[in-house]
Amino acid sequence: MPCLRFETAFYQPLQWCIEAGVAVFDGGAQGEHKMARGLMPVATHSAHWLAHPAFADAVENFLRCETQGIDAYLDELGERSPFRAPVSGKDAE
């Protein structure tokens, strides 16, 4: 069946969330390809622990730099969102 993965991993869970009134559905890590499926990319966080101190330091230094790039990329993708901006304040009245 074509698109079975998307049907089982995204479409059916999204339908359930809508019907159950669940406000947030986490489609998992990664980015722009999910926008075509109606999911905006979001930042994810890791809880990994690295036993080797020098390796842990190297990974921490890399992530400090990478975080800036990822944040900028998420902002860029947010600017291309296919969804209408939430209405707030006086506009909601």
Report residue 52's pLDDT band, with 50, 70 and 90 as the boundaries. Answer: very high
Report residue 90's pLDDT band, with 50, 70 and 90 as the boundaries. Answer: low
Average pLDDT, integer, range 72-85? 84
Residue 40 · residue 79 · CB < 8 Å: no
Burial-class residue 30 by CB neighbours within 10 Å (0-12, 13-18, 19+).
exposed
Rounded to two decimals, the pTM is: 0.61
Residue 80 · residue 33 · CB < 8 Å: no
Rounded to a whole number, what is the distance in angstroms from the first to the last CA of the chain?
46
CA gap 57, 76 in Å, rounded: 29
